[in-house]
Structure 1
Amino acid sequence: MKKVHPLLEWLKKNPAPTAVQPHLTGSSTGVDRRGFLRNSALGGLSLGMLFDGKPEREMEFITQRVKRESKPSDLKITDMRVAVLQGVPFSSPIIRIDTNQGLVGWGEVRDGASANYALTLKSRILGKNPCNVEQIFKQIKQFGGHSRAAGGVCGVEMALWDLAGKAYNVPAYQLLGGKYRDYIRLYADTPEGKDYDEFAKHMVRRRDQGYTFLKMDFGIGMIADTPGMLVGAKNWSVKQQWNDSQPGKMGNYAQTKHPFTRIQVTKKGIDALALHVSKVRDIVGYETPLAADHFGHFDVNTAIQIGKAMEPFRLAWLEDLVPWFYTDQWKQISDAIDTPTLTGEDIFGKAEFIKLIDARAIDMIHPDLASSGGLLETKKIGDYAEENGIPMAMHFAGSPICMMANVHCAAATENFVALEHHGVDVDGWEDIVTGMKPIVDKGFVKVPDKPGLGVELNEDVAKKFLKKGATWFAPTDSWNTRDSADRDWS
C-alpha cells in the first residue's frame, strides 16, 4: 500500500486558503502530490526539505507569501514610540503604535507640542484593540486640552484609524462613513517679504504652483515701526506675536490676551493695511479666494474697524481677530462686518465649537485636527456645523502623516472648504512618507484608496528631519505602567 505523505494527510483535514487551492489539487478526483510539488517548486517554494515530517511547519512555509488580512478582533497594541521631527515646517512628534500582528499605525502630535502628551497615554492603550477607536478616544479624552495640550490624544487617535483601516483593508475615510469628494483642495499660506515686491513674488510663485486658494498675513506687526500707525504699542513687543520669551515693559505681549493690551490702530494705520491688501488683490485677482491670518493683539473695536476696511477686497475670511473663547465678542464682530469671520484652530472637542455655532458668533469654523480631537471628533464638529449652515476650513501645519489624516476627514465631511498647507516650501517634505507621489498636485491632494491613512513613514528621509538631540523611536518602557486612577466621576 502506497504511503501517503503526512502533509497531504494533514491537508485533507485542514483545507488550505483559497489562494493556494489551485496548487494543491491536480484534478477533480483527488490530490495530485506530484503536481502540487511541481507547482510549489515553480512558485519558488522548494519542498526539498520536508521539515522532519511536520505538516504544520510545511504548510506555514508554503503559504507564507499568500496575502492574508489581519484578524481585527484579535488585534492588540503592544508598543508606542515617538520620534520628533523638526522643520516640517515646525516641530512634529511622530507616533508609531505597534501591534501583535505586525501592523504599524502612524500618528502625529500637533506642531510645537511635546511628545510627552502622547507618551503619557501609552499605559492607557497597551493591550487594547486599536479598532475600538471611539471607545479608546473616550477613555483618553480627559488627558487632552485646548491647543497643543490636545496633541497626544489626537495623535494617538490618528494612529488608531491608521491601524483600523489596515486591519480591515480599507481607507480611513471609509470607516468614517465614506467620502464626499475625490480631491481635497488646499489653501497655501504665503510668507511675507521685506517689501511689497518680494511679497508679490511669493504670491506669483504660489499661483504658478497651482494653488487656487491663498492666505496672507497683514497684522499690526508690519506697521509697528512706522510712526503714527499704532496707539499704545510702544511698550509692547508687537512684532513678537508668538515669542513668549520677551517679557517687555508692560508684560509679555505673546501671552497677553487681545483685549488687555489696549493697543489701537489709527486711521493712518488702517489705510496702510488696506493699501497692502489692495496691492495683493491686484496680484492675485478676484478669481482666487484670499484669506487673512492672525492680526495681532487688539480689542473688539479695532477688529471691527479693520474688518470694515477690508470689505472692498472680498476676503474669504478674517482669522482669529480675538481669542476663540470670547463668544460674545466674536458675535459682536461678526454682526458688525460683512467679511466672514473664522476661528477654532486651538479648540479641543466639539463642545466649544457648538457654543460658537449655536450663538451664531462666527461665519466659519477652523479646527486643527491635531487639536480638535482627531478624525472622528473633527468630522462630528464639521457635521454639526453643516447642520447649522456653517462651512468648515481646516488648519494644518505638520508632516505628511498629519496631512493624510486631515485628507481622510475632509473627504468624509460634507461642508469642507479647504485644508491649509504650511509646508509648501519645505524641501523634501513629500519624501517623508511613501505611498503617494506626488502628494500635492496643483493645489489638490487625491484622496488615497490604500488602507488606513494611505502612507508609511519613509525612515531614510524622515531621519534627516530628526530634531537635534532627539532619539529615533527609542524604547519607551518607562511609560508602560499606569500610576494613577483615571476615572473622572464618582
Structure 2
Amino acid sequence: MKILRILEKDLPITSPGANAVVDFAGLTTSAVAIVTDAYRDGKPLVGYGFGSIGRWSVGGMLRERFIPRIVAAEPESLRDEAGGIDPFACWNAAMRNEKPGGHGDRAAALGALDMALWDLRAKAEHVPLYRLLADRYRDGQANEEVAVYATGGYYQQGGDYRALKDELKGYIDLGYNEVKIKIGGAPLAEDMKRIEAAIAVLGDGSRLAVDANGRFGLETALAYGRAMSDYGLRWYEEPGDPLDFQLMAVVAEHYDGPLATGENIFSSQDARNLLRYGGMRSERDFVQFDCGLAYGLPDYLRVLDIMRRHGWSPRRLHPHGGHQMSLHLAAGLGLGGNESYPSVFQPLGSFADCSKVENGRIRLPDAPGVGLELKSGLKTWLDNAFRL
C-alpha cells in the first residue's frame, strides 16, 4: 500500500454559545484525508481525521510542514514488515526537524494527521479501531461498552434557568445519566443558581460536573470550591490556567471533591508535569487528555505509561472531545469513559448515527476504522470537501 496524496480542509463547526473564556462563533477545525493506491468496494481506501473540537484549524502547519514531510519520504520507510502503512513511521516522518517544546497548535496538527492514519490502518485490517488497539495493547481485551456523559450548559444570550433545565432534560431523555455544564461566565451567585437548577433536574449532585475552562485565578477558584463544597459534584474541572500546576495543587488541598483537568495539556511532557506538580489525587481526581489535540496516539501511549508510573489507573482518564476517536481509545485501551456533545459542535459532536446511549453507556459499531462516515452530516461534508 502506498500513500498517493494527503489533503486538508477547514471544517466549520456549529457553535454552542460561549464558555467562561471563549465565544465559539465561527469555530473551525482541520480535517485530513489520506488517499492510498488501495481500493475497497471499488473506491480508493482513504483515512479521515480531524484536530478534535474546541481549537481553531491549523491548515498552514499541515500544508507547509507536516504533510510535505510524509509525502517526501521514501514509501518503503512508511510501511511495516507486512507492507501496510505504519502510523508510527508516518508520525516520525512528520515530526522530523521539529524542536522539543512548543506544544500548542502543532499538537493538534499531528492529532489530525494521526487520526487519519489510524483510521486508514484499521480500515486496511478490516476492523474497528478499538479492536485493533485492544489486540495490540491489551491482549485483545476491549470494553464492549463505554460510559459517556453529556456536555452542554453553555452560556446563551438571553438564556435562563428554564432553558438550561430543558436542555439537561433532553440529555436524560437521550439516555445519559451524567452531564456537565459551564461555570465562570457569570457571577458566583448566579452560577450557584445554575448548578442548583441542574441538580434539580438530575436529582443528585454526583451526576453533575462543572467546568470553569481555566477562567479563575487562585482566590476565585477557591471561592467557587467553597461555594460548591456541599453539592457533592461529580467533578470541578479546570478551575485555573491548565499549566498553572501550583494553582491546581492549592485547590486540591482545599477542595475535597473530585477535580478534573487535562483537555488543554498537549504533550506527554506536560502531562508528566501535571501529575508531578499539580497536586492531583489518583484515587479521586480525573484527567481528560484528548488524543486529537495532543499529537495523536504515539504520544498518548506515552501519557498512559506516565500515568501508570505515577500510580494512576487508565480508568481515571475520561478523554475530552466528544468524538469517535476518543471513544475508540476508551474502548480499546480500557479508559474510564468519554465525553459527548449530543447537541453541539456538529457535525463532529456525538458518535455514529447507529450508536445509541442506554443508561449512560454506548456500544461501538463494528465498521472498520474510526467510523467518521457513520455520521451522516459529517459524511456529507467529507464527500463534498474532498470529492474522492
Q: TM over 0.5, yes or no?
A: yes
Counterpart residue type for residue 319 of structure 1: E
| 2:178 matches 1:213 | yes
Q: Deviations over 1:277-316 (max 9, x none)?
A: 2232122112862111126633212211211221111112
| 2:49 matches 1:107 | yes
1:353 counterpart residue number: 271
1:359 to partner: Cα distance: 3.0
Of 94, 109, 117, the residue aligned with 1:160 is 117
- Correspondence list, 1:61-460, <5 A: 75-88=1-14, 90-102=27-39, 103-111=45-53, 112-119=56-63, 120-126=65-71, 127=75, 128-129=78-79, 131-141=85-95, 142=98, 145-176=102-133, 177=137, 178-191=140-153, 192=155, 194-219=159-184, 221-223=185-187, 269=188, 271-286=189-204, 289-294=207-212, 297-359=215-277, 361-362=279-280, 363-387=285-309, 388-389=311-312, 391-396=316-321, 403-414=323-334, 416-425=335-344, 436-442=352-358, 443-456=360-373
Q: Report the CA distance shift for 1:438/1:217 in structure 2 as closer, same or farther (over 3 A).
A: same
2:18 counterpart residue number: none
Q: Deviations over 1:116-171 (max 9, x none)?
A: 33223121112333632223323434389534332211111111111222223333
Structure 2: which 5+ residue stretches go unaligned?
Answer: 16-26, 40-44
1:379–1:413 CA contact under 8 A, matched in 2: no
Counterpart residue type for residue 170 of structure 1: V
SS of residue in 1 equivalent to 2:230: helix
1:204, 1:456 → 2: CA distance?
Answer: 29
1:375–1:405 CA contact under 8 A, matched in 2: no
Greater mean alpha carbon deviation, residues 418-427 or residues 102-111: 418-427
1:472 counterpart residue number: 385
1:116–1:152 CA contact under 8 A, matched in 2: no
SS of residue in 2 equivalent to 1:292: strand
1:446 to partner: Cα distance: 1.6
2:14–2:346 CA contact under 8 A, matched in 1: no
1:444 to partner: Cα distance: 3.6
2:48–2:116 CA contact under 8 A, matched in 1: yes
1:430–1:438 CA contact under 8 A, matched in 2: no
Counterpart residue type for residue 412 of structure 1: G
1:430–1:439 CA contact under 8 A, matched in 2: no
Counterpart residue type for residue 117 of structure 2: L
Bigger radius of gyration among the two: 1
1:291, 1:425 → 2: CA distance?
Answer: 17
SS of residue in 2 equivalent to 1:313: coil
1:300–1:329 CA contact under 8 A, matched in 2: yes
1:395 to partner: Cα distance: 0.9
Among all aligned residue pairs of Structure 1 and Structure 2, give the percentage whose two residues are the same amino acid.
23
1:113–1:149 CA contact under 8 A, matched in 2: no
1:200 to partner: Cα distance: 1.2
Counterpart residue type for residue 258 of structure 2: P
1:117–1:153 CA contact under 8 A, matched in 2: no
Q: C-alpha root-mean-square deviation of aligned residues, in Å?
A: 3.1
SS of residue in 2 equivalent to 1:417: coil
SS of residue in 1 equivalent to 2:4: strand
SS of residue in 2 equivalent to 1:222: coil
1:110–1:151 CA contact under 8 A, matched in 2: yes
SS of residue in 2 equivalent to 1:100: strand
TM-score by length of 1: 0.62
Counterpart residue type for residue 209 of structure 1: L
* Bigger relative contact order, structure 1 or 2 (CA pairs below 8 A, ≥6 apart): 2
Greater mean alpha carbon deviation, residues 93-102 or residues 108-117: 108-117
1:214 to partner: Cα distance: 0.4
2:90, 2:62 → 1: CA distance?
Answer: 13
